[in-house]
Amino acid sequence: MIKPLEHQVAIVTGAGRGIGEAIALHLALQGAKIAVVSRSEENSQRVASHLNNEEEGSAKAYALDVANSSCVHQVAEQIIGDFGRIDILVNNAGITRDTLLMRMSEQDWDDVLDTNLKGAFNFTHATLRSMMKARYGRIINISSISGIMGNAGQTNYAASKAGLIGFSKSLAREIASRNITVNVIAPGFITTDMTSVLSEDIQKNVLQQIPLARFGQPADIAAAVAYLAGPHAAYITGQVLAVDGGMSM
């Protein structure tokens, strides 16, 4: 049985845990070979080993800080050398440094913008020439409903995620003629280790704002990524898909 992403190569950043790990697994099960990118070598190796157990030879691990431009370009060249091509780029790497703006340090601002927004620029910049040469590519940037709605205590995070939306829409216009699509997924409240530390009161308050009355799972985001990366989304570009149980409507 031919899988929809067979013979394709996908880079997934922030793939060492949570949503990124789920995305990497889902794309691998769809037939793609995965470059597992994580800041932690331990996590990237663990996920790549798991994918290779599920789909033999489907993954390789790469550990780096996506905010480091020279490192990203070096690793992107290594990935092209290892796999021979890049078809799909999922910019998922992200961090939070939540606090009210009046208490936020410049370092907290810079760290979040550098990872969440500059990191996406770095990997896109490093891989775009290969996609343009092949006249094919799928770029999927993971934003957040915080970038659409805003969220108190997350001015840095919301700014980075809103920036991803503007970045994606502009890039989509630049490269559409090369058969490269650029789309955004904006997750709502997804159950991961990043959200599990929130108090029960906060989680209860958030739940009341979700029309579907439940939290999302990493697999919900992974399925949306697989759709946008696949053949049925070939005529979709510059769009923002909120996967949030109706929270932002």
Task: Kindly report, residue by residue over 208-240, the tens digit of the pLDDT.
Answer: 999 999 999 999 999 999 999 999 999 999 999
* Mean pLDDT computed over 17-30: 96
Euclidean distance between CA atoms 208 and 69, whole angstroms: 41
- Tokens at residue 249, please? 């409507």
On the CB side of 228, CA atoms within 13 Å amount to 31
Confidence of residue 2 (pLDDT cuts 50, 70, 90): confident
pLDDT for res 198: 73
pLDDT for res 148: 97
The answer to whether 64 and 37 are in contact (CB under 8 A) is yes
Q: Is 157 a catalytic residue?
A: yes
Euclidean distance between CA atoms 242 and 210, whole angstroms: 13
Euclidean distance between CA atoms 130 and 87, whole angstroms: 9
Share of the chain above pLDDT 70, in %: 100
Domain 9-240, architecture per CATH = 3-Layer(aba) Sandwich (3.40)
Euclidean distance between CA atoms 125 and 116, whole angstroms: 15
Catalytic pick from 62, 157, 227, 235? 157
Burial of 191 (0-12, 13-18, 19+ CB in 10 A): middle
pTM over 0.85: yes
* Mean pLDDT computed over 28-48: 97
Euclidean distance between CA atoms 73 and 11, whole angstroms: 13
**Token match 């099960």: residue?**
29
Is residue 142 over pLDDT 80? yes
Euclidean distance between CA atoms 122 and 49, whole angstroms: 26
